[in-house]
Amino acid sequence: MEKAFEIVNLNKTYKDFALKDVNLSLPKGYIMGFVGANGAGKSTTMGCLLGMIKADSGSVKIFGKETAKLTATDKEKIGVVMEGVPFAPMFTLKDINTVLKNVYTSWDSKKFLSLCSRFNLPEKKQIKDYSTGMRAKLNISIAISHSPQLLVLDEATSGLDPVVRDEILDILQDFVCDENHSILMSSHITSDLEKICDYIAFINNGSIVFVENKDTLQEKYAVVHLAKEQYAQLDKTAVVGAKFTDYNVSALVLKDKISGEYTAEKPSVEDIMLYCVKEVK
Amino acid sequence: MDIIISNHSDEPIYAQIENQIKALIMQSKLKEGDSLPSMRSLAKDLRISLITTKRAYEELERDGFIVTVAGKGCFVSAKNTQLVREEQLKEIEKLLVKAVEIAGMCNISQQELTDILSWIYEEK
Amino acid sequence: MKGLVLKDLLALKSIIKTIILIIGIFMFSGIVSGNTFLVTYAAVYAAIMPLNLMAYDESCRFNRFAQILPITNTQIVLARYISGFVICIAAAAVSIVALAISGNNWAEGAMAGIAVPLVYQVFTVPVMYKWGVEKSRYITMAAFLIPFVVIMTLSDGEIIQNAVTALQNISPLYFAAATAAVIAVMYVCSIYLSVKIVKNKEW
């Protein structure tokens, strides 16, 4: 199966943070959700993937080619959303359209303007007067209006109300109906990722903790609530993380390593994230 | 096409889908030649991953229930429904033979056995 | 590349009225008072414009975004220089017209009006790419603009004009050609340096 992108043994060291041996890849036609705490390395990984940040070691490929060797034609097929609208504050929609239609050969003005009107973005208003939600909608419109095959979205839905988020998730799902299209999206809104992602990748302190089929994650793990004595008797290799209160212990466990009757719940992606970073005592 | 995923079942999701589609085919609610929704649109509507729907469809195809036509999609295939129905009937016959044997060992009459069967159907 | 130059010119669109007003006032007072420098004030704007445009790019992180656009770093840099050059020529044209109206010898004023902003850009653009706009403001302000402004306003350009006239006594055409050649070489070096800086930069 062809890969949309492939990151192998990526290392990048900064003064007080480092990406360590990050391995991440996505076959074409799928959506990968990228979760992690602030500062865990999501944006750095994406930056290295897109060639904005130069890796210390490792290989980064998009559509099978090293990022540094991507041609203009290759870049036409990549759509990106990062924080902030990358145009001067006095620009309007029309200005952005004018610039980008002279940059991308595959720019679809009609699609861009109709998306913007669907999102109720005012044509004559300057970006500096846009709300956070409007900026996010604008960024997404820009990203998909040049027929990309890979979308890389860094917190593209933050600041949006649930109704608009739902609309955007719909657009993203329609996007991947073409099996040559793929999406890598990072988000703190784990419920969004649960809705549409095929894979979930979790990064913590610069290292990938897991990359799994979203459904398998929820089949493999369970959140159990136990009395302290019960917890003490558990096979600790089955426990991913645990939360201690004065009354009980809540733990994320591997279902097949646990026997006996416990109050078990299906874990949400957020649960998995939170328990993964908690210590196992 | 009605497919309902249970989050509380122990059965993996791909198996649930596989079995429900098999059942629909066996009950003739899905007929030979009927097209199935694309793996991606099924994933979207059920809020599950493409990997899961793909696995379900792959299992169904492996068992001969559906066929994939390149560029067109997945369709219900005729042949195997009959075979599997026969398999299922054989399985039921085997289990009933066993039930009759046990009944014979403890002097339970055919009428009592039939009553039990009726009661089971009523409970459903 | 065309798109990037358009981007810079569009960014000017909203402030063009203010610019025209300010230049107009300076030019008018220059013509009336006979101060050549004020008449060519448009040139000062031309010199500063790339700085402002780069400031916008920096604050909205356009250069990071540009890394995934279907353009090379060389094209990004070239577009910056082209926009700057276009602005300089436009400003020079305005200055020439103003000088002609004011009856001064427009040739020297025009030369200074074109050459100075271009040279200013040659120095500031790589500095801005390397250290960002904020820091480079201080660097280039101190090193270039203040002495220039001081000389021009205090002496009404006499010192420079005397130097220029002296050189022109050699041969006006030869001098103009030599200046143009030197600036062209400086341009090429500056572009080369900027491209190198941009290619190695982390966005």
Residue range B57-107, pLDDT digits in tens = 999 988 888 888 888 888 888 766 677 777 778 888 999 899 889 988 988
Enter the tokens of residue A76. Answer: 């036409």
**Whole-number pLDDT of residue A230:** 81
**CA-based R_g, chain B, Å:** 19
Q: Among A75, A98, A101, select the one facing C10 at the smallest CB separation.
A: A98
Residue A229 reports pLDDT greater than 90: no
* Domain range list for chain A: 3-205, 218-276
C-alpha distances (whole Å) from A161 to each of A133, A166, A189, B19 are 8, 9, 11, 38
Rounded Cα distance, A255 and A236, in Å:
13
Chain B positions in Cβ-Cβ contact with residue A219 (cut-off 8 Å)? 12-13
Which of A75, A89, A91 minimises the CB distance to C69? A75
By Cβ distance, the residue of A76, A84, A101 closest to C61 is A84
Q: Please spell the DSSP secondary structure of chain C, one letter per residue.
A: -HHHHHHHHHHHHTTHHHHHHHHHHHHHHHHHHT-HHHHTHHHHHHHHHHHHHHHHHHHTTHHHHHTTSSS-HHHHHHHHHHHHHHHHHHHHHHHHHHHHHHTS-HHHHHHHHHHHHHHHHHHHHHHHHHHHHHHHHHHHIIIIIHHHHHHHHHHTTHHHHHHHHHHHTT-HHHHHHHHHHHHHHHHHHHHHHHHHHHHH---
Is chain C adjacent to chain A, meaning 3+ CB pairs within 8 angstroms? yes
Using an 8 Å Cβ cutoff, are C109 and C39 in contact?
Answer: yes
Query: What is the predicted pLDDT for the residue at C156?
Result: 64
User: Angle, to 10 degrees, between the axis of helix A109-118 and the axis of helix A93-101?
Assistant: 160
Identify the pLDDT of residue A265. Answer: 83
In this structure, the dihedral spanned by the alpha carbons of residues C79, C84, C87 and C91, taken in order and rounded to 10 degrees, is: -160
The structure tokens listed for A117 are 């009107």
- Tell the CATH topology of B13-77: Arc Repressor Mutant, subunit A (1.10.10)
* Per-residue pLDDT reduced to its tens digit, A142-199: 999 999 999 999 999 888 889 989 989 999 999 999 989 999 999 989 999 999 999 9
What percent of chain C clears pLDDT 90, i.e. is strictly above it? Answer: 18
Domains of chain C: which residue ranges?
A: 2-200
- The pLDDT > 70 percentage for chain A reads 98
pLDDT of residue C158: 67
Instruction: Answer yes or no: do A30 and B41 touch at CB < 8 A.
Output: no
Q: What average pLDDT score do residues B21-36 get?
A: 83
pLDDT at residue A208 tops 90: yes
Q: Residue A132 and residue A118: Cα distance in Å, rounded?
A: 17
The length of chain B, given as a count of residues: 124
Report residue B32's pLDDT band, with 50, 70 and 90 as the boundaries.
confident
In the predicted structure, residue A277 carries a pLDDT above the cut 60: yes
Which residues are paired to A79 by β-bridges?
A: A151
Q: Name the residue facing A219 among B12, B38, B47 (closest C-beta).
A: B12
Partner-chain residue, chosen from A177, A179, A215, that has the shortest CB–CB distance to B48: A215
Instruction: Say if residue A257's pLDDT is above 90.
Output: no
Supply C76's token pair: 């990004």
Alpha-carbon distance of A12 to A165, in angstroms, equals: 33
pLDDT of amino acid C154: 67
Q: Does C199 touch chain A (CB under 8 A)?
A: no
Q: What is the pLDDT of residue C168?
A: 58
- Asked which of A45-59, A231-245, C152-166 is least confident by mean pLDDT, the reply is C152-166
- Do the two chains B and C touch, given a threshold of 8 Å on CB pairs and at least 3 pairs? no
Q: d(Cα C81, Cα C64) in Å, to the nearest integer? A: 18
Q: Does B55 have pLDDT greater than 90?
A: yes
Q: Helix C41-59 crosses helix C106-140 at what angle (to 10 degrees)?
A: 30
The amino acid sitting at B90 is: K
Neighbouring-strand partners of residue A203? A208
The rounded mean pLDDT for chain C is 81
Q: Does A84 touch chain C (CB under 8 A)?
A: yes
Chain-chain contact of A86 with C71 (C-beta, under 8 angstroms): no
Confidence of residue A57 (pLDDT cuts 50, 70, 90): very high
- pLDDT category of residue B9 using cuts at 50, 70 and 90: confident
CA distances from C160 to C155, C163, C168 (A): 9, 5, 12
In the predicted structure, residue C104 carries a pLDDT above the cut 70: no
User: Which architecture does CATH list for A3-205?
Assistant: 3-Layer(aba) Sandwich (3.40)
Three-state DSSP class for B100? helix
Average per-residue pLDDT for chain A? 90
What tokens appear for A236 in the block? 């600790």
Mutate to test the interface with C, among A87, A142, A184 (most CBs of C within 10 A): A87
pLDDT attached to residue B90: 84
Q: Is pLDDT of A258 > 90?
A: no
C65 to chain A, any CB pair closer than 8 A? The answer is yes
User: How many angstroms separate the CA atoms of A146 and C3, rounded?
Assistant: 15
Task: Determine whether the interchain pair C6/A98 forms a contact, defined as Cβ–Cβ distance below 8 Å.
Answer: yes
Write out the E strands in A107-231. Answer: 150-154, 182-186, 199-204, 207-213, 221-226
Confidence at residue A63, expressed as pLDDT on a 0 to 100 scale? 94
Residue B105, token pair as written in the block: 């060992």
Contact A72 C70 (CB under 8 A): yes
CB contact under 8 A, A51 and C67: yes
* DSSP state for residue A56 in the 8-state scheme: S
Q: Could you tell me which residues of chain A have a Cβ less than 8 Å from any Cβ in chain B?
A: 29-31, 173, 176-177, 179, 194-199, 213-216, 218-219, 266
Q: Where are the domains of chain B?
A: 13-77, 81-123
Q: How far apart are CA A105 and CA A100, in angstroms?
A: 9
CB contacts under 8 A, C 138-167 vs A, are none
